[in-house]
């Protein structure tokens, strides 16, 4: 075989299923995704979802950028603005069928009052809590 192996080869699940799981990951938790598919007779763990996301989300984002460079418009629906920032150039917020705001992720975030913040107060095991929070994306 010539060239690199395609990224979706050698998966125990159909490529379209893996693709859907990775895209739906932006709307659902890892466990919710796994549970949703178990109800439909397809079993995998939330660790599998995490692995697929780590392996394939960057490739999907790369493909979306390639399509954009070809002049294509891609529509992605999500309620997590910061997750979209990793793969989108421009975003729009539509509420009740009406355009609320559109622009770059930075413009929209700034117009909406900046990044939402959550304050966490820890009663004990401060170092353990700090280690967990440091592993989370967008956490300072």
Write down the residue that tokens 């150039």 correspond to.
89
Question: What is the overall mean pLDDT for the chain?
Answer: 76
CA distance 135 to 20: 26
Q: What is the full DSSP assignment across 59-70? A: HHHHHHHHHHHT
Q: Which two tokens stand for residue 114?
A: 């900046």
Give the contacts of 86 (CB within 8 A, at least 6 positions apart): 57, 61
Closest CA to 7 of 58, 74, 83: 58
Instruction: Summarize pLDDT for 81-112 with one digit per residue, the tens.
Output: 666 776 677 888 888 888 888 888 778 877 87
Q: What is the pLDDT of residues 69-80, one digit of tens each?
A: 898 877 777 766
């Amino acid at each position: 075989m010539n060239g690199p192996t395609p990224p979706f080869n050698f998966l125990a699940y159909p490529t379209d299923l893996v693709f859907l799981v990775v895209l739906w990951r932006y709307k659902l938790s890892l466990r919710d995704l796994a549970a949703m598919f178990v109800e439909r007779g397809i079993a995998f763990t939330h660790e599998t979802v995490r692995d697929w996301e780590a392996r394939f989300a960057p490739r999907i984002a790369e493909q979306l950028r390639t399509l954009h460079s070809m002049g294509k418009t891609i529509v992605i629906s999500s309620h997590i603005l910061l997750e979209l920032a990793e793969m989108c150039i421009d975003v729009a917020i539509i509420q009740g069928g009406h355009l609320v705001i559109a622009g770059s992720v930075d413009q929209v975030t700034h117009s909406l009052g900046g990044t939402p913040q959550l304050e966490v107060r820890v009663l004990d095991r401060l170092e353990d809590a700090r280690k967990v929070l440091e592993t989370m994306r967008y956490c300072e």
